[in-house]
Structure 1
Amino acid sequence: MTRGLVSTASTIIVIIYIVGAGRWVATDADWYRSLNSPAWQPPDFIFGLIWPYNFAMLIVAGFVVASRDSQTEQIIWLASLALSVTAALLWAWLFYVPHSLQASGFALGAATLLTLPLVVVAFRASPLLGLALVPYQIWVAIATSLAFSYAARN
């Protein structure tokens, strides 16, 4: 597996994440606003700050992992990234399209678990990079909690 292939594949996966999540999240704003949201829901502007950061760090991490890590760790990175993005996109679809709130929480729970290897592999490539991905891990865990909270309240 070449470094160029790993970094390109990683970037493509993140672009699919950006486009897919954006497509589904924007589908039914009125429905979303009608939900009984938890009091601890972050304000909207936080989403606008954290997601670009998370996406940028995932792309940067793909390049760093491709240039510094072993082939085994590169495979772990790509597999974990693809699976976690699949789970996160499943959350977006379940939450915003059929409005399956409980199922969406389980999808995000899977995404949360699947992001752990990303942080570990990133730490091995660069401790600073691993730290830079911790906000993504925390954000996905918070989103999981929010999804289950929405399911319980609605």
Structure 2
Amino acid sequence: MIGGYETGPVVAAAAAALVTVLAGGLLTTTGPWYQSLRRPSWKPPDWAFGPVWTTIFTLMAISAVMAWHADAGTSARTALLAAYGVNLCLNIAWSGIFFRLRRPDWAYLEVIALWLSIVVLIAVTAQASGIAALLLAPYLAWVSVATLLNRAIVQLNGPFGRAVPVRDVGSRV
């Protein structure tokens, strides 16, 4: 028992959060390409992202455990697992699309899906526990800011995905 809860769900929620953070972190590269992007003046400082995401994932894990224990019904737990699973996959996918594929335009569409998945996650969680659902509000707020930031980056830098001409190996530049 951890904090009055069975150990299994606590460990599972913490592991899911950790895997998501690690996968997203591995896909996130703030190297020369990212640094060359024009970003709006209101963009949060780079150093803020780590603490904010740590707080969000901690709250998500707590929320998941609370909701899991608040409703022991199979259908409720299945809905929770599905909502969290989809959401965490979308969370990871955004980093891959934005940073690895270097497609902020596609990432903007994806972050809208992520935002919608958070709304669904909150709704599903609220059916089990209102307090657990409230713990997800900072996540929705932060992804709302991220959505606006992603949109601004697309507007300031697009279009993306233009073909770069391949030079003849034998030609001189």
| Deviation, structure 1 residue 9 | 4.6
1:90-113, CA deviations, whole angstroms, 9 ceiling, x for partnerless residues? 110111112011001111110110
Greater Cα shift, 100-109 or 125-134: 125-134
Partner of 2:26: 23
Identity %: 25
Q: How many residue pairs were aligned?
A: 151
Counterpart amino acid of 1:56? T
| Deviation, structure 1 residue 134 | 0.2
Partner of 1:125: 128
Partner of 1:145: 148
| Deviation, structure 1 residue 17 | 1.0
| Deviation, structure 1 residue 136 | 0.3
Partner of 1:107: 110
| Deviation, structure 1 residue 28 | 4.1
Greater Cα shift, 116-125 or 142-151: 116-125
Write out the 4+ residue segments of structure 1 that deviate beyond 6 Å after TM superposition.
none
Counterpart amino acid of 2:128? A
CA contact (8 A) 1:54 1:136 kept: yes
Q: Residues 129 and 65 (structure 1 numbering): CA distance in 2 closer, same or farther, change over 3 Å?
A: closer
Counterpart amino acid of 2:109? F
Secondary structure at the aligned position of 2:40 is classed as coil
Cα-Cα RMSD? 2.0
Counterpart amino acid of 2:27? W
TM-score, normalised to structure 2, is 0.77
CA distance in 2 between partners of 1:8 and 1:78 (Å)? 14
CA contact (8 A) 1:21 1:89 kept: yes
Counterpart amino acid of 1:130? A
CA contact (8 A) 1:76 1:117 kept: no
Counterpart amino acid of 2:154? A
Larger helix proportion of the pair: 1
1:107-131, CA deviations, whole angstroms, 9 ceiling, x for partnerless residues? 1110110111221233333333222
Secondary structure at the aligned position of 2:135 is classed as helix
| Deviation, structure 1 residue 6 | 5.6
* Structure 2: gaps (5+ residues): 1-5, 158-173
CA contact (8 A) 1:122 1:129 kept: yes
Give the structure with higher Rg (CA): 2
Counterpart amino acid of 1:88? N
CA distance in 2 between partners of 1:107 and 1:10 (Å)? 24
Counterpart amino acid of 1:53? T
